[in-house]
Structure 1
């Protein structure tokens, strides 16, 4: 088996894959089409499965040090009544770690710092990815090219490599929602680490950071492509009657800090995550709605599982078959669960359906809710040592 790889995409999944491959002795080049490190994005929650993957990659300690544990909070109604309380200590006892909140830009930086200088090529878009024979893959970018034993397609939900490998697949579809998010300009007086509030066809949530600032997000059921001329003013109009600290979070935000994008997903499961010596990872393989907070965690699981398979098998083809067999059932099951969570949460708009959901949540014992969470969080990574 050779030991050179090209990772297409310098996001969380791509960087994690590069780190994992280097830990098993591979030479790795990461191609990122963006020309500068804009570090866009707001916040992210990392569950125990994602943290364990980061531990195996050797960066878990640094990520934990930059994160804030989510020990308090839960789900509320727009007028502030609690539907479900979160017991972060019980979750930590059950799976060994609480959910952690971190800036996405900080996580990106920590992953980049784990790679040697020169391994991440910015402004380098993979124009062609083709099997070249003799067990190699040819990757053309700009006026340059690379020959590799493996190509990892971590090029996101709109993956061009996925489209090339599976031209009959319908690709990503709109979930029916759009999300707006931002990080506050200054610290906000928050009494909880994490909250979700569900209204009729709308959701508002926040994640608290170590420095007292917070990421907030608003999910709205809207047609694809809907945009607001002044997003922050629109959100103040929609959420001004919702409970504290929602108005305060919006007031602590600069208008230009608000990001908006449609929530898309790969609703039709892929028949395989690998073809020849090309393998799909992260959103390119299983882009899911954010309702379980598992998108990044599943990409991190992918990265460790891929590296472990390549370290254990005698051929790239055997390793990719093993990776596909291990990752496809689990990641697609998580994607289905995330879709269902959205349908039972923010996407509900009929008053009777909302009332029935709220009643069911109030009556669900906390131990039952914890068991439901454990289905996704209780994952142990294969060893890369």
Structure 2
């Protein structure tokens, strides 16, 4: 067991607490051994040159269907592509536009029961359902409901669409107290679309950290925290990424459980800051451009970095109510997925290669967005195995 991870599992259940109190689940060590990726993926999709259906520009999502096939959303080409379990292209659906089956922005929505593929157009605030052949079944605009998701929505097992909306004031209420470069955190809510109604489950949640530019203008903070969430059948797990802690809301908006567990140290070290600076410099081929970045931009970028990393940056629910928690990408040389059970107890840890983005996952597999040695975006499916197994 590595330093910083304790050796006992403690589950504190407040059975004698009054009605409305929360159950607190504290996990100090996993129940099972760590997991690792198989040496090679079962399938990798994405090439630098060749048939256009295998070339990606901007992969914004991918899901693995029940038959093992994979659907990939490529926002640059404004389409969805389905591949069989061996990676062979089956169909392409969609194009740029505003009509049915046309998209401006493209996010895949996970977990929509009874619908093979659901996509959300973030430019038009509209969801589209497709069958397994890529045909459009239905479209629905959220505009008449006044709903404007800030990030990608997620489906609950019973069909509700859950998301965090754009704040009404975009942080304007903070502006009178801010100077250029100041960091603030706006407040948001967790809402669900139920029929023709938008239901607020909880409001006043600390949302995205931003840095102030000028009145009416701000940007996301580098390594900034945000609210992360995932719906399950019993409600929604959510957290603000301040620490390794999540809360469970039932569908009435009541917090019924709090999960806490151990994780990597969140301190932003000089080593990590140096690595971040080098990553920025690597984007510039011209020596003068590199020098200009260090003179003109790096001081402000460095000063806006936090003293602590966000604890996590994504949650991925499984059909049985368990869920994966993805740690922040810059926390450690190896990124991690933590598996928590349906009650919030920590079960296992998976170390990921650096730079991987989790698109979909199960108990024994994970679907990642990666880049190859030529910086070509690819989608890769890996099986998981126990460390030392």
TM-score, structure 2 normalization: 0.27
Q: Which structure dedicates a bigger proportion of its chain to helix?
A: 1
